[in-house]
Structure formats: structure tokens, C-alpha cells
Structure 1
Amino acid sequence: MSDVKEYWPCAGEIADGNIKISEDVLATIATIAVTETEGVAAAASTVGAEITEMFSGRKGSTPRGVKIRFDEEAQGCVVECSVILKYGSSVTETAGNLQKNVKTAIESMAGIHVARVDVQVCGIQLPKKQ
């Protein structure tokens, strides 16, 4: 059973052929940028991802908490991030930093324009009681 994946052509002129980047690669780049953002406890798992893993039998085959799609109108990718924040961090400040980090990471590493980064805060990680 083969997976249907979206591939984006790399920006710029390539003399020796084409370069296409899988949506999984972009999602992995975004997930790393999300988890490295100060105030983020973790990328949140979605119900759809858990169901897909359950039926495919491939645990962790796709990055959790990040979805990538192409926006025809903006001619770039739209990144949707679901996250759990650390207790005490500013929601708006952390979300803004996350948006900047994800956009910078994808554009600098993959050369693909990021039209928008949407952030969904799914929860707050409370401090552990001693």
C-alpha cells in the first residue's frame, strides 16, 4: 500500500535536474522548530494522526502536531501547528515566536515560501508536584 504524498518543487533554477521536497520533510522541519521554541512543552497529537497510526501500524511515521498544505492563492505552504505550552509562558508571545521560528526554518532549509503559520494551543502542561 503506497502513501499519497505531496511534493513541492524547490525554488530557484537547478541546472542538473529537478528537486522536489516531500510534505513529510517540511513537517519534520516544522516540528523541530516548534519543539525548540521557548515556552512550548510539546507538539500536540491530533486524533486523525492517532487513527492513521493505529490502522497503518506505523507508529511515529508522520510528525505529530504539524500539518502542511499548499495554498494556491498565496503560492506557498500553510503550516498548521497544534501545541501544548508550558505553564506560565505567555500564550500570544510564545505563539508569535513559534510562527517566526517555523517560517524561518522552512524557508531557510527548504527554500519554500511559507504563506502562513497557524497555531492552535491545545493545552497547558502544568508543573509537576514535588
Structure 2
Amino acid sequence: MEEMINSGANELGVIKISEEVVSIIASLAATEIKGVAAMSGGLVGGFAEKLGIKNMSKGVKVAVGEKEAAVDLFIIVDYGVKIPDVAWQIQENVKKAIETMTGLGVVEVNIHVQAVDMGRDIKEEEAPRVK
């Protein structure tokens, strides 16, 4: 069963936001930053992609309390970028997006750089044939 975040009540009822929604917001905010090649989904995400299932929250782990959230992002960066600069921009953008859209306070956004995208196709990486 998916975890639901109780983000408040008003005279009309209770508003609940799923952790999946917070993950998707974080993922989209992270991939808006120049230098982020992709989110790193790991083994499970890789299988899902091969099956044609697009998981918008891959590479994101969230822990949500009553009023606060902590986010871990697992990313792949483009070769040649300044990783600390890209990471800081991701942190700022993710924090702003989650706080604006959900009203939750973001206490931390941890960036885990999993790989560097060299920007090459598999064909380019193959060794040239010797005649």
C-alpha cells in the first residue's frame, strides 16, 4: 500500500499527497537542470525501461513526515560538467519545486552521482576492426 502524506485539512476535508507524487516532482525538477543526463534507476529501473514502462520516480528516494521531506536523488551527469555546481542547482530546484507544490518543508536533498554519461553510442565504443 502506498504511503500517503496528510498535508492538511480544511473545512472541506483532508488533502493527501502520495510519496510517489513527491518523487515525481523531485525527478522532474532534477532533470530540468543542465548537466543532468538522466536519473539512475539501478537494476530494477533498467528492467522496467526495457519493458517499456517509464517510471517517473526512478532514481529518487523520499522520506516524508507530517510537515517535512528528505530526498535522495541518484543521477547520471554529462561528461565535462562541474559536478558540485550541478548538484547545488539540483538541490535548489528540487527544494523549491517540492515546497511550492506540496507545502512540505524540505530538510535535505542528497545527491548521489552514480555515473558520467560520455555521450557516446555503443557503436562508437567498439574497437575498430583490423583487416
TM-score tier (shorter): 0.7 to 0.9
TM, length-normalised to structure 2: 0.80
Task: Name the aligned partner's letter for residue 28 of structure 1.
Answer: I
Change (3 A) 1:93 1:76: same
1:119 aligns with 2:115: no
Structure with the greater alpha carbon radius of gyration:
2
1:64 aligns with 2:58: yes
User: Which of structure 1's runs of 4+ aligned residues deviate more than 4 A?
Assistant: 48-51
Task: Name the aligned partner's letter for residue 39 of structure 2.
Answer: A
SS of the equivalent of 2:116 reads strand
Match of 1:97 in 2: 89
SS of the equivalent of 1:60 reads coil
Q: How many residues are treated as equivalent by the alignment?
A: 121
1:45 aligns with 2:41: yes
Task: Name the aligned partner's letter for residue 69 of structure 1.
Answer: A
Contact 2:45 2:55 survives alignment (8 Å):
no
Change (3 A) 1:62 1:86: closer
1:28 aligns with 2:31: no
Larger mean Cα displacement after TM superposition, 81-90 or 13-22 = 13-22
Unmatched 5+ stretches in structure 1: none
1:109 aligns with 2:114: no
Q: Tell me the C-alpha RMSD between the 2 structures.
A: 2.5
Task: Name the aligned partner's letter for residue 60 of structure 1.
Answer: K
Unmatched 5+ stretches in structure 2: 125-131
SS of the equivalent of 1:10 reads strand
From 3, 10, 16, the equivalent of 2:12 is 16
Change (3 A) 1:83 1:29: same
Identity %: 31
1:6 aligns with 2:3: yes
Name the structure with the higher strand share. Answer: 2
TM, length-normalised to structure 1: 0.80
SS of the equivalent of 2:98 reads helix
From 55, 66, 85, the equivalent of 2:77 is 85
SS of the equivalent of 1:18 reads strand
Larger mean Cα displacement after TM superposition, 13-22 or 115-124 = 13-22
